Every structure is written in C-alpha cells, then in structure tokens.
Structure 1
Amino acid sequence: MACRRLGGVPWLFLILAWLPALCAAQTRAPYIPASPDVVLQQVPPTTDPRVRRFEQLRLDLQRHPHDAKRAVTLAQAYVDYARSTGDARFLGRAMAVIDPWMRRPLPPIPVALVHATVQQSRHFFKASRQELTTILAREPNNAQAWLTLATVAMVQGDMDEANRACVKLANTGGDFMGMICTASLRMLTGRAPQAYALLGLVEDPGPKAPPEIRAWIEGLMADTAMRLDRAALAEQHFKQALQWTPGDNFLLADYADFLLDEQRPRDVLALLQGDSASDTSFLRQVYAETALGLPQAKADAAAMAARFAAMDARGSHVFQREQAGFALHVQHDAPRALALAQQNWTVQRAPQDVRIYLEAALAADQPAAAQPALDFVQRTHLSDPSIDRLVARLRSDAMAQAAPRAKP
C-alpha cells in the first residue's frame, strides 16, 4: 500500500514519541542481549548500490555544508529509498539533512519541496498541501509541486483539486506527465477505460526513461486493469513493473493484495520471500499464512499485532487502513476494524480506504455507518469490482434494516 519534517513542530512530535523511552533509559539498566544472535536492528546492506551512494553524497555534503543543492540530492536519495523499501527511518534522515535550510524564514524551494514530499509520505496530507500551495505561490510553474499536489488531492478524495493540479501539470510539465496525472484521476472517477487508453500512450516513455518511471506506469496500468475486472492483464502489468523495480515495497504490497483477492496465498509467500523487515510485506505474509492455516500464522499474527501496538504508542497513524484490515481479517474484531476505518477516513480516501470501510461496516452489521463512504462513491463515480459488490450489499442491508417489520 503504502504515510516529516525537520524544523519546529515536526521535530517536537518525534521528541515526544521518544520521550518515554529516554526517561526510562535514565532509570533502568541498559538492555544487554542474552546472546550475540539477538537481532537489535536490521540495517541496509552495503552491497546495495543505493546505500553506497549515500556515503558518497554525505561526504560531498560534508565538504560543502552550505550547499542546499547537495543537501537536496542527499535528502531525496533518502526519501526514494524509504519509499522503495518501506523503511521510514530514512525519512527522518532526509529531514535531518534539510533542517538547516528549513529553519530559514524562506526555505529554498527545492528544500521546501522535499519537506512537503516527506510530509506526504508520512500522511501529513493537510500540512503537505499547505506547503505545496506556498511553493506554487512562489513558483507557479513548478511541475513537481503540481504533481505532488495532485497526488495528495487524489489520496484525500479531493477530485476537483486533483483535476486543477493535473491541468496545471500538463501546462507546466508537458503532455507526458499531464496524461499520467489525468489517467490516474480518471481511474478513480469511474472512467477506467479512458485511463487505460491514456496510459497506453505513455507506456513506452523512451529508452532514457529511468526504471522507476517505467514501473510507475506499469503499476498504474495494473491498477486500472483491476478496475476493468481484467485480472490476467493486471498481473501482466504487475510482473512487468517488478522487472523494472524488483524490490519496490509498495509495488510488492499492491501485487500481494491482488494475489490475495485471487485466492492465491501461496503465490503471496513466494512473492514476498519471507520479507519481515517491511511492515507492509510482513502483513501480507500474515494474511497468506492465515489463509493457508500454516503453523507459524499465530506467532506471526502476534508479532504483527505488536508492531501495530508500537505504532500506536508512538502516535503513528500511517498504517490505519492496514491496521483496520488486520483487525477485521486476522483478529476478526469487526467493531474495532470499523472504528479504525472511520478514523482512517478522516485522513485519506483512496479506493483501498473505501474498501476497508465498507467491509468493516458490513462485518459489524452497521450499514448506516458506511454512509460517508457510500456518498463518496456516488459523488466521485468510483468504480471497482470489489467495491461495487460491497456497495450493493450495503445498500441491500440498509434497505432491509430500514423496512418496517411486518405485523404478525
């Protein structure tokens, strides 16, 4: 699936999150592992060329500590790594890099744009949109800012703002980015055939296009094919996308969700290959193990529950949608799943958020509770086979509950 800042308030939230641990450290003896085999923390392998590049960029910035351009390059490398691996620690590193410039009354636009992007990645959508609006007031032709604004608006279900941003993006960033943005919007507003046709026009962006761009387009085509109820075509695009970016965290989660919907949990385990470092991958692994009734399912479910509890303790709500799904499909706690889905709804309204909201309302036998999501589907014309079926069931249940009882 798959939520930033440095100066001022954002750091305060980080400090507050760690404060209990810092205080405890002053009163308790330090933790000493019972065995050298105990894993305290997993770090990225230095065999990864991206990790080796971090060191080069850090040394370059150390030699030129007042160069904002070099700071942005390093921070963006951290952001890209965090997105592709799901390791949010690198978002914090990105914030640390740009902090000196974010403390200025008017940060350089490239720095502010990285800052807004990290806010988006951590699901601080309102703050991200405010900062992007400020950036665009200073630099109206900033294509990256328009793209990020369109993305945030779509995630929040603000289709009018997304459409405005897509139009501006087409005018500033060219037809290529404009068509991708427009296709993404049409996919979310009941016009999947048009979206797929538009993406087909940009499917081959040229030999110089980076793998990430190619994988992005293929992933969008996979999502669009799913909304067209064409499973075989969707899988074809997923596989092509993973050929371009084999370890992309969110792409793997998206494909795993597709496989779970297709009742193929063994393929999910083969796809994820026991990746427990990423929360998103580990959650899909738990879903697959549970579906198969594997012996390790119970222990891994408990470990996943502990991860969610740790997120709650930190005040992190990045994965509320996933937490709602876990509560519903693994813990079988429909009321709690519904409460989590409702909380998540105040932050984001992507198709996956709509789906878990509807599923939880059905499972909790509270069709009326799903009305905000039903209104959203009607207003935006969102169409998706799984969501369409849920909408029909909820409307049927609501009518049954509203009908007067027949007299004996």
Structure 2
Amino acid sequence: MKTLIAALRGPLRLSARPLCAGAVALLAAGPALAHATLEEGEAPVGAYAKVVVNIPHGCDGQATHTVRVELPEGFYAAKPMPKPGWELTTETGPYAAPYDNHGHEMTEGVRAITWTEGDLPDAWFDQFTFRGRVGPKLSAGDRLDFVTVQTCADGQVAWDGSDEGHPAPALTLTAAQGDGHGHHHAAADEVELGDLTIRDAFALATPPNAPVAGGFLTLVNEGAADDRLIAARSDVAGRVEIHEMAMEGDVMKMRELPDGLPIPAGETVELKPGGYHIMFMDLKGPLVEGETAAVTLVFETAGEVEVQLPIKARGAAGGHGHGQDHGMLRNGEGGKADHASAAEAGRPVMTAALLDRARDAARVN
C-alpha cells in the first residue's frame, strides 16, 4: 500500500513534459464543458454509501489513462470496485479520529483510490465505483467532497473545488435513518466485519405461537484467508442454530451444522430458503412483518457483529413459510423440532410432496 499523499493543488496540474500552447489551451478549456460528478449526490449520516464517480470526457482530445479519488474525513471503511482494463491501487493513512466499525476501532484506512493503465477517449464517458460508510458524528446538510484527478498524456485536470469551473464531486448528507438498535429502525444494506461483508439479510414472519423461524443473508469474504460462521444468538429466540436444508433425491433432509458454515476466501456464501439458513429456535414471540430482528453472528476469525434482519411476509423470496416447514417436523415431546437428529441418523425427514402439503397448509392457516 502507498502512504497517503497531500491533496493536489489547483484546478490544473501539468506534468513535467513540455506542452505546446495549443495543448495548454485545450486542457484549460476542457473542464468547462462538463464536470466530474457523483451518480448519487446524497447519503444518510451513519449509512453505507455506494459512490459512483462520473468522468464525462478526457482532456479535450486526449484520452484519460488515470483517475484518482481522494476520500474525505468522515468517510471510512472504503472498498473500491475493480474495473476491467484498469489497474487498481489504494493509498492508506490515519483517520483524524477513530471510528467504531461494529465493535472494532478503526484508526486508519483507505484514503485514496487510483485506477491506472486505462484508456478513456475524450469523446467517451465512464464511471469509477467504491463504497464506504459515512461517519455517524456528521450532521444532515454537511458535504463530503471527493477530490478527483484525471490524468492524460500531457497533463492533469483536478476536480477539487478550487474554483467554480472545477467543483469536486460531492455527497450532501441527509438525516440518519435510525440507530440500528430499536426493533422498528431501518437496517443498513450492508454490514462489514474485517474482510467479511454481510448483506441482503432478512427473516420471515411467523404466525402466533410458532416455535421457530428462518433467517437469511449473504456472506462475502473479500480476504485472502478462509473464515467460518460458528455460532449465532438473538434476543428473539431461546437459541439460534446454523442449519442446512437440501434435497437428496426426492427427500428433504435438514440438519444443524455443528462445525459451522465455511466462508472460503474470495467467495460468496448465500443463506437462503431451501439451503443454508439461520434457525431461530424457541421463539419468544412472533416475528411481525415490517419489523426487524437483531442477530449476533460469531465468526471463527473475524469475531462478532450484530446484524438487523428486516422481517418479510411468509412466502417472500421463495421462503414459503420456512419456519413453518420446520415446525411441521415435531416429535410431540415439548414441541421440539427433531429434523436435525433425523437427518443425522440418515432417516428421511420429509418428502418433497409432504413438504409442499405442509407449505400449502401454512399458507391457508
């Protein structure tokens, strides 16, 4: 990683190569035609934001081969998106103040992102993308400027706000969407924990007195080492287990994963209806559509993080009342689901036909 360097000065920086008067005039005139901007100009305080920088042209006749974006104070935990045909590098440096990133103190991180070795002709348009989080101590109405510099064969154009003709691409902050702890607050789209990203989380609503419910999400491991989801817990249930549900021929077998769920390096693992899932056992009350349920996920390497699961209607996202499917598998002793022990014993738990009948019954009821 490179170390953080100072912000570029002035709207136009020329390289050490000599320029003819005509080339200087072209470079100076070019930015007035169109500005570098962000595709989305607003983001809530404390939320994750996907930032897309629009580069509208080259250097008036010259192709852009490098784009560099400096990340302002107040924007942290940034990760860039690779771009085909371009080399990607990042520059790290300290933050002015530490951030609490899901229980882990962050004192430094990515402060600048550079895409190089590309070719954006003057007549073309392109976008450069990264994501990160807006600091929770900022206020609605604050503005975050992302100083952007595009480099061509004979010079640079800096969109840094140094004059009206060179405004920096900027995010205007809006009011926070909630603190993420209350039962009715909106959940963030993504949660980061080290090299892991948790996204697309949700749970399925349950009828009154249902003993179990299913939770689902996507785990992305962007690191170089494997990790493993080894446990989970939640205040909405007596216990939480990590389960697998899979068809073997025409027989559906379901079981707890006692060793947890592997999250291989560089891969994405989906927990979804009909496959891997989080099982809320001994529910303390019904899960109500439109509310959220908090669950703490425990990873072997990355540690712990709390995730908010928006509660969707039964049957949403192909779930077909997943919790109710589990609830149909009971042994009559205290209402305890016995599908795990049955699967581990190798006995058929439920055929596909019986499972469909159970789902239909749950929808009718």
Q: TM-score, normalised by structure 2?
A: 0.27
Instruction: Tell which structure's C-alpha radius of gyration is larger.
Output: 2
Q: Which has the higher contact order (CA 8 A, sep 6+)?
A: 2
More helix, by proportion:
1
Q: TM-score, normalised by structure 1?
A: 0.25
